[in-house]
């Protein structure tokens, strides 16, 4: 992921990070990457371990990608458990996000640095988080009551230097899930962060963020954008509509989900690459 984000930073676009939970979603994301000729980040969060194991995610990615021409990273999204970070690395994930954003600063820093030491020894990239996103409707990433804490530019540069992380998730007003009310994205904070940081910055909560704001964030130095909620909502809505007409075989439903995810992800990749 580090090399992907370095190229994105140099050429001023953002790489899409798309959440997966099944064979269909993995195939949809990888097909969209192949169709657009753009790198993609296949992201899997520990909350979906009930759906599939880390090893299953890696095996499906590798077997599906073997038949496609696509550059991809297998990324662990928002992981609060150090045990799970190391399990994912052992299973073959190529990048991990350790999320210590809810912890006191020094504890977040110490844990992130410990993860970096192990991950870098194994050639794995590390994303860290400083500050905290609020949660909107249908959020899958955060607790219901999470409050917005903007990332402090003065704190961020020291955090990155001391932890050694490869990418930093910043909190500038996007929310996990869908917005309730008008989004208020603080581009001034992003500009302050860019002044202090050379590290690739990550925007979480891409769902529902207006196109012009996304473009301004990419111009302001965001090189990775995470989208989860909207892709799931879009595919589920289209599936519901198609099932209202008939009750097809499960094999047909599986194919439709792949198609819906591919189409939705393709749209985001094109938007982030403009
Ligand atoms: Zn997130």
pLDDT along the chain (274 residues), means of 10: 97 97 98 98 97 98 98 97 98 97 95 98 97 80 72 94 97 88 90 96 90 94 95 96 95 98 97 92
Half-sphere CA count of 12, side-chain side, radius 13 A: 6
Q: What is the pLDDT of residue 144?
A: 57
* CA 99–ligand 1 middle distance (angstroms): 9
Locate the domains of the chain by residue range. 2-273
Active site residues: 77
| Ligand 1 centroid from CA 122, angstroms | 24
Q: What angle do CA 249, 253, 259 make, to 5 degrees?
A: 145
CA distance 126 to 221: 18
Distance 68 CA to ligand 1 centre (A): 27
Q: What is the pLDDT of residue 142?
A: 64
In whole angstroms, what is the distance from residue 150 CA to residue 175 CA? 11
- pLDDT at res. 143: 65
pLDDT in the model for residue 62: 98
CA of 131 from ligand 1 middle (Å) equals: 12
Name the pTM for this structure: 0.95
pLDDT reported for residue 140 = 74
What pLDDT, on a 0 to 100 scale, did the predictor assign at position 171?
93
For residue 176, give the nearest of 208, 130, 151, 150 by alpha carbon: 208
Please report the pLDDT score of residue 188 as a whole number: 95
| Distance in Å, CA 251 to ligand 1 centroid | 31
- CA 272–ligand 1 middle distance (angstroms): 17
3-state SS track over the chain: CHHHHHHHHHHCCCEEEEECCCHHHHHHHHHHHHHHCCCEEEEEEHHHCCCCCHHHHHHHHHHHHCCCCCCEEEEEEEECCHHHHHHHHHHCCCEEEECCCCCCHHHHHHHHHHHHHHHHHCCCEEEEEECECEECECCCCCCCCCCCECCCHHHHHHHHHHHCCCEEEECCCCEECECCCCCCCCHHHHHHHHHHCCCCEEECCCCCCCHHHHHHHHHCCEEEEEECHHHHHHHHHHHHHHHHHCCCCHHHHHHHHHHHHHHHHHHHHHHHHC
CA distance 247 to 42: 30
> Does domain 2-273 match CATH 3.30.365.10?
no
């Amino acid at each position: 992921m580090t090399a992907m984000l370095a190229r994105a930073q140099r050429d001023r676009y953002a790489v899409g990070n798309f959440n997966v939970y099944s064979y269909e979603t993995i195939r949809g994301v990888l097909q969209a990457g192949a169709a657009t000729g753009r790198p993609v980040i296949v992201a899997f969060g520990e909350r979906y371990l009930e759906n599939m194991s880390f090893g299953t995610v890696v095996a499906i990615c590798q077997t599906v990608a073997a038949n496609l021409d696509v550059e991809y990273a297998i990324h662990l999204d928002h992981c609060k458990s150090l045990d799970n970070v190391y399990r994912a690395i052992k299973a073959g994930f190529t990048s991990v996000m350790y999320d210590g954003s809810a912890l006191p600063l020094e504890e977040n820093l110490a844990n992130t640095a410990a993860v970096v030491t192990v991950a870098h020894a194994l050639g794995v990239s590390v994303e860290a988080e400083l500050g905290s996103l609020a949660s909107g409707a249908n959020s899958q990433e955060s607790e219901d009551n999470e409050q917005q804490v903007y990332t402090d530019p003065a704190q961020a540069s020291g955090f990155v230097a001391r932890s050694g992380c490869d990418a930093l998730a910043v909190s500038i007003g996007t929310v996990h899930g869908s917005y309730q009310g008008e989004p208020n994205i603080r581009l001034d904070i992003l500009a302050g962060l860019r002044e202090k940081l050379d590290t690739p910055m990550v925007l979480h909560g891409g769902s529902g963020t207006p196109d012009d704001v996304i473009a301004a964030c990419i111009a302001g130095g965001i090189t990775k954008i995470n989208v989860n909620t909207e892709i799931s909502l879009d595919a589920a809505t289209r599936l519901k509509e198609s099932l209202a007409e008939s009750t097809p075989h499960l094999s047909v439903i599986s194919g439709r989900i792949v198609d819906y995810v591919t189409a939705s992800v393709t749209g985001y990749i094109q938007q982030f690459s403009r």
